[in-house]
Amino acid sequence: MFETLKPQPADKILSLMQTYKADPRTDKIDLGVGVYKDASGNTPVMRAVKEAERRLVADQTTKAYVGLAGDPAFADAMIDLLLADTLPRDRIAAIATPGGTGAIRQALEMVKLAAPAATVWISNPSWPNHASIVNYLKMPKREYRYFDEATRGVDFDGLIADLGTAAAGDVVLLHGCCHNPTGANPTLDQWDRIIATLQDRGAVPLVDVAYQGFGDGLEEDAQATRRIAAAFPNLMIAASCSKNFGIYRERTGILMGIAADAAEATLTQANLNFLNRQNYSFPPDHGARVVTTILTDPTLRADWEAELEQTRSSMLTLRRQLADELRQRTNDDRFDFIADHRGMFSRLGTTEDKVGALRADHGIYMVSDSRMNIAGLNATTVPILAQAIADADI
């Protein structure tokens, strides 16, 4: 049987990680994988997570399965975090998933159940796994313009023009905040235009929220998603706890399905449960229970929010420092966009050859499309990166 298998294309980011590990240089810099690192290069366990886990170990009396949808308290806590009082709770169906990737996969499986002929629209560029999953599921796919290579900002006119051709029932995958891989995000006024365009076309939003709290703040990063949720009778929201809770390996995510009314939400919930059963039955619980413990305990939540704000502020500081260093070294303001971007990533907007030169000549690893993880830097490595970019004449 296995002799009939064909080689699969290597994941560019995972391959980059392996190449980085094999590089013997001690001054190399990893800006590839999307993981937050502190000033010493570690990905720390947050204080509130440690305390929540301590409580779970002390108090948990069983490891029996939870329901197909996961713990209802986790769904309630995450819906409150992301949507607050935007919608009546009885319009929202939800399932716990193995990370944000699992939520995206289940969302696309839901599209195949509900509207198998629907085209899925993905931003160009986007997180590579978006297109990879859509292609694997053999779903119709189109791209909409997103990134302006000249300004390193959002190509808003191109975005609106492309989405203006979406058909009724098409699904449009949107990044709720901190766009990956570019770091460039629409303004709230632009989000209103996007919403109006999708309403006019009869399209259905699928919002990916992987970085709430990493951009402008917990509440601020939720504003676009809340506006979208309030504007449509049907949509889906995939959210990840990997980054903002720092529990990457616990694979903790959630998929929310917004229905037109309570009766439709009940039907939606049953279908989401069905999809979980077909895929992995009961979702992981440990990370979800950690998140629930933090979000429902005022003291733990306050400590988590404070540490998350420190993380966000440190990334903004690195952005400003890098933009300033580049301005000094190039005597040009063309890299000021780095300070304006939000989240973990920025895209330099240069060629694959120059990205390769940064890797070969300076030991600086970033994805070939010039996406770099700002959180992989520290105050010491920022000037090194800035000089390398200047030397490469990017």
DSSP state of 40: T
What is the CB neighbour count within 10 angstroms for residue 62?
A: 5
- For residue 125, whether the previous peptide bond is cis, meaning omega lies within 30 degrees of 0, is yes
Residue 127 among the catalytic residues: yes
Residue 144 β-bridge partners: 123
Residue 221 among the catalytic residues: no
Residue 210 among the catalytic residues: yes
Residue among 155, 162, 170, 208 flagged as catalytic:
208
Closest CA to 36 of 388, 375, 381: 375
Residue 208 among the catalytic residues: yes
Residue among 127, 166, 357, 388 flagged as catalytic:
127
Measured distance CA(332)–CA(315) in Å, rounded: 22
Residue among 48, 75, 243, 386 flagged as catalytic:
243
Residues 6+ apart with CB under 8 A from 148: 154, 155, 158
- In the chain, beta strands by DSSP E: 29-30, 92-98, 120-124, 141-145, 147-148, 153-154, 171-175, 204-209, 235-240, 252-258, 345-347, 364-365, 371-373
Residue among 77, 210, 229, 392 flagged as catalytic:
210
Q: What is the largest CA-CA distance in the chain?
A: 63
Measured distance CA(316)–CA(139) in Å, rounded: 38
Q: Which residues are catalytic?
A: 127, 208, 210, 243
